[in-house]
Amino acid sequence: MERKGKANLEDIAKVTGVSKMTVSRVLRGGQGFSDETRDRVIAAADRMGYVPNRLAAAFNSVQASTLVGICVPRLTSGLFGHVLDGVDRALTRLGYQVMIGCNNHQPREEEAWLRQVVSWRPAGVILSGRSHTPGAVELLHNAGMPVVEIWDLTTSPIDMSVGFSHYDCGVEVGQFLVRKGRRRAGYVGASSRADVMGQARMEGFSAALVLAGYPLVDREVLLDSPGFYAGYYGLETLLARRPDLDVVYFHNDEMAIGGLAYCQQRGIRVPEDLGIVGWGGMEAASVLPRRLTTTVVPTTLIGKQAAEALVARLKGEPVQDVTVIATRLVPGETG
Amino acid sequence: MERKGKANLEDIAKVTGVSKMTVSRVLRGGQGFSDETRDRVIAAADRMGYVPNRLAAAFNSVQASTLVGICVPRLTSGLFGHVLDGVDRALTRLGYQVMIGCNNHQPREEEAWLRQVVSWRPAGVILSGRSHTPGAVELLHNAGMPVVEIWDLTTSPIDMSVGFSHYDCGVEVGQFLVRKGRRRAGYVGASSRADVMGQARMEGFSAALVLAGYPLVDREVLLDSPGFYAGYYGLETLLARRPDLDVVYFHNDEMAIGGLAYCQQRGIRVPEDLGIVGWGGMEAASVLPRRLTTTVVPTTLIGKQAAEALVARLKGEPVQDVTVIATRLVPGETG
DNA sequence: CTTGGCTACGTTACCGGTAAACTGCCTTAG
DNA sequence: CTAAGGCAGTTTACCGGTAACGTAGCCAAG
C-alpha cells in the first residue's frame, strides 16, 4: 500500500490514523495539532515519498499559484540570458516556478504563448517590450494578474514597467560622438523582422545628430539576426556606399565586434579612421584588444527588479508602476 | 453575467443551453454534436473570453500534463541559451509548456528544483549533466515520467540521454595538437565549484597527451566563472609559472578569447609562439581576427533532439535510450 | 455548576474539467 | 413490426487539496 512516491494526503492520513486535513495542515507548517501528531505525519510522508500536488492546491484555491511566466524576444541573446538569470534567482528564492517563452520579437508569438500560460493560472507574468497585440492586452486585463513589462520602458504600462529608454540610449551616443568631434556618422543594424527597440535606438541617435547639425549620413539595416556576421558584412556594405564615414553606431556589441573585425581585416584604423560604437555591454566587449565604446545595460538587475516588483504586487505591498533602470555609456578605445 | 475572461465551461453551457460536457467536447475539437451546436458554443466561448483551465484538466486526468521541466547549469551561458532555444522551439510547436530551472552546476540545487517541478506533475523533465543527488534519482524513479539527461552523455541514463562525451572532446584536442607538433601543453580552466564536465575535458586532454608521450606540463584552474577575464588572468598566471608552454587548451571559447587578448597585449604571437584552443563554438570565435581553433557543439540540435526524444517516449513511440551528438573539432588559425 | 475559551483535531463542500456510462430519438436492416 | 445501431447529447463520479465550519475534551473563571 505504501507505494513510494504515489501517496497522497489521504494515504498518509490512513497510515497515521488522522484526517487528511490534519496532514495537510502539518505539511504546510500550520498549527492546531500536537508535536507528536506532527512527527508521526512527517515521518509517514517522508517514508512514503509524498510529493505534494500543486495542481490540486492551485486549482482549488482562489489564491494565486506560484507560477510566473516570462517571455523574452530571444533565448540565445547574451543579454536576455542575464535577464532570465536575474528573474530566476529572485523568484526561486521566493518559492516561485518560472515558465519561459520566446516570441522571436513577434507580438503574435507572444500572444500565442500568453494564451497557453494564462491557462495555467499563473500568479503573474513578465513580458519584454511594450508591443503587444490587442488580444494579448485584453487577455491580460481580463486575467487580472500582475504584469511586468521589462526592457523597453513604457510610461503607461499595462500594469508595471521596469526598463530603460532605447531612444535615450541612442540620443546619448549621438551627443557623445558629436562632442568627440565626429561629423559623418553611419548606422549598421539588423532586424529580425520587428525589432522595434533597435529601431528606437537608431531614431534617438539620428535625432541627436540632426539636432547637433550633423545628420546621419547613411545606414545599413540587414534582414538578418544581429550577430557578428551581420556586423562584419553590414559595415562592408555601408562603407562601400559611403567610404567617408568617420564613425558607425551598431545595433549591438556582437555586430560592433563584427565591424571591428572588418576594420582589422581591411587595415582601417580604429578609432583614428573610423569610430565604432556598440550597445549592450557584452562581457567580451570589455576585454577585446581595443575596449569597445558601448552602452552597458544592467541586465541581471532588470530581471531582479522585475521579479521583485511582481512579488511585491502579489503581496499587496506598494510598488511603483514604472522603474527606470539606468544604462551607462562607457567610452572605450574604439569610439 | 458574461464577465469577460472569467467564464468557465459551466457558464458557457448555461448561455448556450447545453451541458458543460458538450462544451468541453466542442472546445477540444471532439465529436458527437451538430455543426450548429458547435458554432453556438464556439461563438459563446469567444464572446465570453473563455480561457481554459489547464490546472483542472491536468489535475483531473491521469494523462500527462503538457508541462516539461528543463534544468540547465547556467542561464547566462551562450551555449545553454541555444540548448534552451532548441528545446523551446520543439516543445512549443508540439503544444508543451516549458518550465526552466538553473542549478549553478550544483546537484543539490537541481534536486531542490526537481522537487518543486515534480509537484506540478509535469509530463517529463530534461536535466543537464549526469550528476544527480540520490534523492533526485529516487524522486525521478518514483515519478515514473520520461527523463532526458542532456549535454554530458551517459551510457546508463536514468531514462534517456542526448549528448556527447566531454572526455572524448579533450582526447581529440590532445591528439590533434600532438599531430600539429605541440609538445608542451597547458590547460586553463575555471570551475564554479563543481563543473565536472570541464574537468572531464581536461582529463581526456591530459590522457591523450600522456599516451602520446608529451604529458600536460601545467594547468591553472581558477575558482571563478569561466568568462573572458578568467581566461585572460588564468593565462597570465600559467605563463608566469611556465613561460615555455607552446599551446594552451582553455575551458571554453570565452576563456580562450580572454587568453588571445592577453597574448595580443603581451606581444605573444599566436599561433607561432603559443597555440590557443577553446571549446564550445561561440559564434564570436569564428569571426575574430584570428579564427579560434575550437570544438563546435551543436547546441540547438541537442535541445531539439532531447525534446523530441521526450515527446516520442510520451507518445509511446520507440526511442533509443542514448543519442550521441557529434561535436566537431574545427581547426582555426590559433592552434 | 455553568459558561466560555482553548486545543486538537474531524467533516463537508467545493474548485473546473473529463472519462465513462447512460438516455432519448431517429433511421435502417432483417 | 421489431431489433439493432448511430447520433447528439446528458448525467454522474471523480481527481487531491484546502477553506470554512463543526466538535469533543479539558481547564479555569465566575
pLDDT in tens, B172-199: 999 999 999 999 999 999 986 667 899 9
**Number of Cβ atoms within 10 Å of the Cβ of B61:** 9
What's the start-to-end Cα distance of chain A, in Å? 72
DSSP letters along B107-160, please? HHHHHHHHHHHHTT--SEEEEESS---HHHHHHHHHHT--EEEEEE--SS-SSE
Write down the residue that cell numbers 595580443 correspond to: B264
For residue A288, the chain B residue with the least C-alpha distance is: B261
Q: In chain A, what are the domains?
A: 9-52 (1.10.260.40), 67-165+299-327 (3.40.50.2300), 166-296 (3.40.50.2300)
Chain D positions with any atom < 7 A from a protein CB: 7-12, 14-20
- Closest CA relative to residue A276, chosen from A266, A297, A265, A261: A261
Contact state of B92 with A113 under an 8 Å Cβ cutoff: yes
Query: Which residues from B are below 8 Å from A5, CB to CB?
Result: 138-139, 141-144
Tell me the backbone φ, ψ of residue B279, rounded to 5 degrees. -160, 135
Prior bond of A271 cis (ω within 30°): yes
Contact call for residues B153 and B322 (beta carbons, < 8 A)? yes
How many residue pairs from chains A and B have C-beta atoms closer than 8 A?
A: 167
> B155 and B192 in contact (C-beta within 8 Å)?
no
Sheet of B147-152: strand order equals A322-324, A160-164, A147-152, A124-128, A67-72, A97-102, B97-102, B67-72, B124-128, B147-152, B160-164, B322-324
CB under 8 A, 24+ apart: contacts of A132-136: A132/A107, A132/A158, A133/A107, A133/A108, A135/A111, A136/A107, A136/A110, A136/A111
State the cell numbers at A10: 489521504
Q: Which residue in B202, B190, B204 sits closest to B232, CA to CA?
A: B190
> Could you tell me if B264 lies within 8 Å of chain A, comparing CB atoms?
yes
Closest-CA distance, B87 to chain A, in angstroms, reads 11
Inspect the interface and report whether the beta carbons of A100 and B99 lie closer than 8 Å: yes
Query: Do residue A85 and residue B74 have CB atoms under 8 angstroms apart?
Result: yes
- In this structure, the strands spanning A294-296 and A328-330 are antiparallel
Mean of pLDDT values over B300-328: 96
Selected residues 9-38 of chain B with any CB under 8 Å from a CB in chain A: none
**Rounded distance in angstroms from the CA atom of residue B32 to the C1' atom of nucleotide D2:** 27
A249-298 tens-digit pLDDT: 999 998 998 899 899 889 999 999 999 999 998 876 665 667 899 999 99
CA distance B278 to chain A (A): 15
Residues with CB under 7 A from strand D: A 8-10, 20-21, 24, 27-28, 52-53, 56-57, 59-61, 63; B 17-22, 25, 32-34, 36-37, 59-60
- Tell me the chain A residues in contact with residue B77 when contact means C-beta distances shorter than 8 Å: 81
Task: Round to a whole number and report the distance in Å from the CA of A12 to the C1' of C8.
Answer: 18
The total number of residues written for chain B in this structure: 335
Q: Among partner residues B88, B120, B143, which is closest to A5 by beta-carbon distance?
A: B143
What span, in angstroms and rounded, lies between the C-alpha atoms of B252 and B104? 17
Query: Per residue in B69-96, pLDDT tens?
Result: 999 999 998 899 999 999 999 999 999 9
Strands B294-296 and B328-330: antiparallel
- Give the pLDDT of residue A5: 62
Residue of B nearest to A102 (CA): B88
Residue type, A207: A
- Confidence at residue B285, expressed as pLDDT on a 0 to 100 scale: 67
Nearest chain A residue to B144 by CA distance is A5
Would you say A236 and A262 are in contact if contact means Cβ atoms under 8 Å apart? yes
- Which parts of chain A are beta strand (E)? 67-72, 97-102, 124-128, 147-152, 160-164, 185-190, 218-222, 247-250, 275-277, 294-296, 322-324, 328-330
CA distance A305 to A307: 5
Torsion of CA A156, A157, A163, A166, to 10 degrees: -50
Q: How confident is the model at residue B23 (pLDDT cuts 50, 70, 90)?
A: very high
Residue A1 is predicted with a pLDDT of: 40
Among candidates B5, B85, B141 on the partner chain, residue whose Cβ is nearest the Cβ of A142: B5
CA distance B35 to chain A (A): 25
Task: Give the pLDDT band of residue B1 (cuts 50, 70, 90).
Answer: very low
B2 and A CB contact within 8 Å: no
Neighbour order of strands in the sheet with A275-277:
A218-222, A185-190, A247-250, A275-277
Angstrom distance, A192 CA to D2 C1': 71
A251 min Cα distance to partner chain B (Å): 16
CB contact under 8 Å between B121 and A55, yes or no, is yes
- Give the helix/strand (H/E) hosting B281: none
- Contact check, Cβ <8 Å, A228/B82: no
The H or E element spanning position A82 is helix A78-93
CB contact under 8 A, A88 and B100: yes
- Between CA B101 and CA B110 the distance in angstroms is 8
Residues A56, B59: C-beta atoms closer than 8 Å: yes
B134 touches chain A (CB under 8 A): no
Which segments of chain B are extended strands (E)?
A: 67-72, 97-102, 124-128, 147-152, 160-164, 185-190, 218-222, 247-250, 275-277, 294-296, 322-324, 328-330
Q: Are strands A124-128 and A147-152 parallel, antiparallel or unpaired?
A: parallel
Whether B100 and A78 lie within 8 Å, measured CB to CB = no
B105-146 pLDDT, tens per residue? 899 999 999 999 999 999 999 999 999 999 999 999 999 899
pLDDT, residue B287, reads 58
The grid coordinates of residue B65 equal 500534463
What are the mean pLDDT values of chain A's consecutive 10-residue runs (335 residues total)? 72 94 94 93 94 91 85 92 97 95 94 96 95 96 94 94 97 98 97 81 98 98 89 97 98 92 92 96 71 95 98 94 97 92
pLDDT digits (tens, 9 = 90+) for B254-283: 899 889 989 988 999 999 999 999 999 887
Query: In B8-65, where does DSSP find H-type helix?
Result: 9-16, 20-27, 35-47, 54-60
Weakest mean pLDDT among A247-256, B30-39, B53-62: B53-62
> What residues form DSSP beta bridges with A124?
A68
How far apart CA B24 and CA A291 sit, in angstroms, is 60
- In Å, what is the separation between the CA of A17 and the C1' of D18? 19
Closest C-alpha among B211, B267, B281, B221 to residue B248: B221
Three-state DSSP at B207 gives helix
Confidence check: pLDDT of B19 > 70 = yes
